[in-house]
Amino acid sequence: MKPERKLAETIIRPGLHLTLHEHDGSYAIRVNGKPLMHSRLTASELLLGELAVDRQTERPGLRVLIGGLGLGYSLRGVLDVTNATAAIHVAELLPAVVAWNREFLAALNGALLDDPRVTIFSGDVRSLLARAALTPYDAILLDIDNGPMALVQRSNARIYSPKGIRRLLAALKPGGRAAIWSASPDQAFADRLTEAGCHVEAVPAKLYPAAKRHGCLLYLADKPPA
């Protein structure tokens, strides 16, 4: 049996370590040894990317924002269904994750970072959301931590707060869609989206194609047309 290798490590904050591991061709990112994402459990991220843009894949100049790069599967899901005129912005808070994708994960999804449709921003997605009101997006994906409840970075709670939701919707074009990955049901979050004026759908998703049960939820929030 092949041994597992720790490829890289970075410190998020004192006492909180992020590590990248490889075992027999698969990759995992862990926080203090606990699983955060795995390259064999990616069906939901691919689906998140597809559903975020499924009504407007052929729109010329489609603008998409992805919050969280991770192992790149949400990005792949968007790229697989959009045309050559799309502009896809990816905000990743941790520079190490971007570097890992380029150095260790090029054969996985790292090569997608060089797709001409893709621009990588190293920083907090909230900064892009705040600037996007003048040039809003057609679709916004949030694949951050484990969703609104299971947070690694406590500061990310602000993204899912009522104020954060207002900022999210201001960054969306009328008729645009926000798609949010969540490890578990969060009715309070869904209610906040509804109260902000969105049509909300919770889509159960499998973590891998052959799974017998759904392992997470994808919240789809459609902003009303103008």
pLDDT of residue 155: 67
Q: Looking at residues 203-209, what average pLDDT do you find?
A: 96
Cβ atoms of residues 166 and 205 within 8 Å? no
CATH of domain 40-222: 3.40.50.150
Tell me the pLDDT tens digit for each residue of 91-137.
999 999 999 999 999 999 999 999 999 999 999 999 999 999 889 99
What is the average pLDDT value for the chain, to the nearest integer?
Answer: 93
Question: What residues does each domain of the chain span?
Answer: 40-222
176, 65, 39: which is closest to 118 by C-alpha? 65
Measure Cα distances from 140 to 97, 104, 137, 149 in Å: 20, 27, 7, 19
Average pLDDT over residues 158-164: 91
pLDDT digits (tens, 9 = 90+) for 180-205: 999 999 999 999 999 999 999 999 99
End-to-end Cα separation, the chain, in angstroms? 58
| Both tokens assigned to 44 | 């939901």
Q: Please give the Cα distance from 168 to 157 (Å, whole number).
A: 13
pTM greater than 0.85 (yes/no): yes
DSSP 59: -
The pLDDT of residue 156: 73
Question: Rounded to an integer, what distance in angstroms lies between the CA atom of residue 198 and that of residue 184?
Answer: 20
With beta carbons less than 8 A apart as the criterion, state whether 193 and 165 touch.
yes
* Contact present, 161 and 207 (Cβ < 8 Å): no
DSSP 8-state symbol, 188: H
| In the predicted structure, residue 150 carries a pLDDT above the cut 60 | no
Indicate the pLDDT class of residue 153, thresholds 50, 70 and 90: low
Statement: residue 44 has pLDDT above 90: yes
CA distance 71 to 26: 11
Q: What count of residues does the chain have?
A: 226
Name the pLDDT band for 57 (thresholds 50, 70, 90). Answer: confident
Residues 6+ apart with CB under 8 A from 134: none
